[in-house]
């Protein structure tokens, strides 16, 4: 079933799996605000029975980041230029940036597990979109880069928190401040890549992971994701209490006593 196909984003659903694909391969899936709006809409359109969302980029690269046209004086046609954004008052500028982020914020919602299948370049906005997902299956030709700082900007599409969570503050700072390339072997070592496979095996490995995730009962997986996602913000006693509450719900549900 097709849910969406516009502005460089295609969304299809088969059974409990939704596929979100960036479809600007001629531009290495370079992103635009229109794509971000389409990605936000994708999250709103997901049917309630979807359990897994797989994010892909069509062609040899996952996403080369923000479309370079954005860095010209005129910017991307139909979109406000950086100069125009800079002249907005604080409230309108904040609202515009929040709108840009909306396509990146729903991927860690509690009712689905999201998997990015990443190949080739994952740069800037592409890196942050991969970081938005719960898991990343990477081809061995992948290159992650966060060049925003070298351009006088900052990563602002929600990527800073998951990056620090995965690699730690010092390494995250070094990656962002230098804008250097992080290749597949280092990405796996640092925890950026959940799994690294030969490029030819990326689709099959992603399908295998999807099947394994679907094998677990949905409610148990949702509860487990919530426990792990929120663990960093709790002390040990609070985490144990959260585990007890989650397990009590599972016991009652399995016994047919759930609400």
* Average pLDDT in the chain: 96
Total count of domains within the chain:
2
Residue 259 lies in a domain: no
127: domain CATH number is 3.90.226.10
pLDDT of 171: 98
pLDDT of 104: 98
CB 176 within 8 A of CB 144: no
Residue 67 lies in a domain: yes
The 3-state DSSP class for residue 78 equals coil
Which stretches of the chain are DSSP H helices? 33-45, 82-86, 90-105, 125-132, 160-167, 169-178, 184-190, 202-215, 218-230, 236-254
pLDDT of 112: 97
**Residues 169, 114 share a domain:** yes
**Residues 74, 31 share a domain:** yes
Residue 63 lies in a domain: yes
**Residues 142, 227 share a domain:** no
DSSP at 15 = T
Task: Count Cβ atoms within 10 A of the Cβ of residue 148 and give its class: 0-12 exposed, 13-18 middle, 19 or more buried.
Answer: buried
**Residues 241, 140 share a domain:** no
**Residues 235, 147 share a domain:** no
Residue 244 lies in a domain: yes
pLDDT of 94: 97
**Residues 176, 113 share a domain:** yes
pLDDT of 259: 64
**Contacts (Cβ under 8 Å, ≥6 apart) of 121:** 28, 61, 62, 63, 64, 65, 142, 143, 145
**Residues 242, 146 share a domain:** no
Residue 148 lies in a domain: yes
Share of residues in the chain with pLDDT > 70 (%)? 99
Residue 7 lies in a domain: yes
Residues of the chain with pLDDT under 50: none
- Round to whole Å and give the CA distance between 40 and 7: 12
Residue 81 lies in a domain: yes
- Round to whole Å and give the CA distance between 157 and 198: 29
DSSP at 46 = -
Model confidence pLDDT, tens digit, residues 151-184:
999 999 999 999 999 999 999 999 999 999 999 9
Nearest to 222, CA basis, from 78, 56, 17, 51: 51
**Residues 188, 78 share a domain:** yes
Which structural domain, as residue segments, surrounds residue 194? 2-215
Q: How far is CA 43 from CA 9, 107, 114, 117, 123, in A?
A: 12, 8, 11, 18, 22
pLDDT of 174: 98
Residues in the chain: 259
**Residues 72, 147 share a domain:** yes
**Residues 171, 99 share a domain:** yes
Take residue 59 and report the two structure tokens written for it.
Answer: 């062609």
Would you state the torsion angle of the CA atoms of residues 124, 98, 152, 60, taken in this order, to the nearest 10 degrees? 20
pLDDT of 35: 98
- Round to whole Å and give the CA distance between 143 and 109: 26
Residue 74 lies in a domain: yes
**Residues 240, 153 share a domain:** no
**Residues 79, 132 share a domain:** yes
Q: Is 0.75 surpassed by the pTM of this model?
A: yes
């Amino acid at each position: 079933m097709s849910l969406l196909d516009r502005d460089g984003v295609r969304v299809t659903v088969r059974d409990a799996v939704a596929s979100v694909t960036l479809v600007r391969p001629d531009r290495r899936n370079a992103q635009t605000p229109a794509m971000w709006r389409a990605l936000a809409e994708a999250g709103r359109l997901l049917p309630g029975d979807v359990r897994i969302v797989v994010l892909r980029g069509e062609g040899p690269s996952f996403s080369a980041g923000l479309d370079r046209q954005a860095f010209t004086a005129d910017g991307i046609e139909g979109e406000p230029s950086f100069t125009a954004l800079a002249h907005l008052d604080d409230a309108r500028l904040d609202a515009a940036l929040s709108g840009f982020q909306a396509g990146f914020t729903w991927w860690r919602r509690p009712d689905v597990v999201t998997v990015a299948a990443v190949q080739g370049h994952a740069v800037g906005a592409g890196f942050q979109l991969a970081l938005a997902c719960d898991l990343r299956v990477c081809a061995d030709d992948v290159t992650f880069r966060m060049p925003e700082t070298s351009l006088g900007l900052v990563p602002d599409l929600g990527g800073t928190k998951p990056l620090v969570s995965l690699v730690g503050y010092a390494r995250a700072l070094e990656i962002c401040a230098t804008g250097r390339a992080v290749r597949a072997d280092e990405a796996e070592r640092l925890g950026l890549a959940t799994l690294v496979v030969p490029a030819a095996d990326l689709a099959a490995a992603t399908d295998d992971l999807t099947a394994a995730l679907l094998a677990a009962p949905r409610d148990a997986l949702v509860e487990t994701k919530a426990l792990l996602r929120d663990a960093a913000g709790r002390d040990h006693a609070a985490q144990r209490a959260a585990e007890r509450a989650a397990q009590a719900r599972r016991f009652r549900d399995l016994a047919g006593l759930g609400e």
